[in-house]
């Protein structure tokens, strides 16, 4: 068994769609990034890469590479997970928290869970858990200047 953790944060700006966990959420602002800036999928990607000892998302998909400009982060997660699988690992479970003062994530959590489970080739949806917290109006997250995500992932050896 191997454990990995992931963290990501992106700034909230006007004129961008808000995409979290592969779900487009109606909101007045979206996340700024080189890719689609899906903060949750980036943290999951880092957690599974980290558990496998494969570095981080920026090593595999540099934000200086025009190839990844506007990239769909579900595609990045699937590509990273293919490398994790090729290294002999599979995900046992992923537990994630989205740190967002707004908007409410709860109504979208099941759709995020389904996307993530599909991308990690998990038939058992309970192996992916998406939680959310406000930041109690404290700091840059509490001022709605950005949204963050924290993730832990467990890997096991094998292909089953």
Please choose, out of 21-29, 51-59, 71-79, 131-139, the segment that lies near ligand L45E5XJ5 by the rule CB under 6 A: 131-139
Was 91 annotated as part of a binding site?
no
Specify the stretch interacting with ligand CDI by CB under 6 A; choose among 16-24, 62-70, 130-138, 144-152: 62-70
Instruction: Decide: is 100 part of the binding site for ligand L45E5XJ5 (CB under 6 A).
Output: yes
DSSP 3-state of 137 = coil
Does 104 engage in binding with ligand L45E5XJ5 (CB under 6 A)? yes
Among 111, 134, 154, 156, binds ligand L45E5XJ5 (CB under 6 A): 134
Helical segments of 38-108, H only: 39-51, 57-60, 73-86
Residues in the chain: 160
Please identify the residue of the shown chain whose CB is closest to the bound ligand CDI: 33
Closest C-alpha to 154, from 93, 79, 83 = 93
Tell me the sheet residues that pair with 153: 4, 94
Annotated ligand binding at 63? The verdict is: yes
C-alpha atoms less than 13 angstroms from C-alpha of 11 in its C-beta half-sphere: 6
Q: Which residues are at the interface with ligand L45E5XJ5 (CB under 6 A)?
A: 100, 104-106, 132-134
């Amino acid at each position: 068994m191997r454990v990995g953790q992931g963290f990501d944060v992106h700034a909230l700006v006007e004129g961008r769609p808000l995409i979290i966990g592969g779900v487009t959420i109606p909101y007045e602002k979206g996340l700024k990034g080189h890719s689609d800036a899906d903060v949750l999928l980036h943290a999951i990607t880092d957690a599974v890469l980290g558990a496998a000892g494969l570095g981080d998302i920026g090593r595999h998909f540099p934000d200086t590479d025009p190839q990844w400009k506007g990239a769909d982060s579900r595609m990045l997660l699937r590509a990273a997970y293919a490398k994790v699988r090729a290294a002999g690992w599979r995900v046992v479970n992923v537990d994630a928290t989205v740190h967002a003062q707004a908007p409410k994530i709860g109504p979208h959590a099941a759709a995020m869970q389904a996307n993530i489970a599909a991308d990690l080739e998990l038939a058992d949806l309970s192996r992916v858990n998406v939680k959310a917290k406000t930041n109690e109006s404290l700091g840059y997250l509490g001022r709605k200047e950005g949204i963050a995500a924290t993730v832990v992932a467990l890997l096991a050896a094998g292909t089953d």
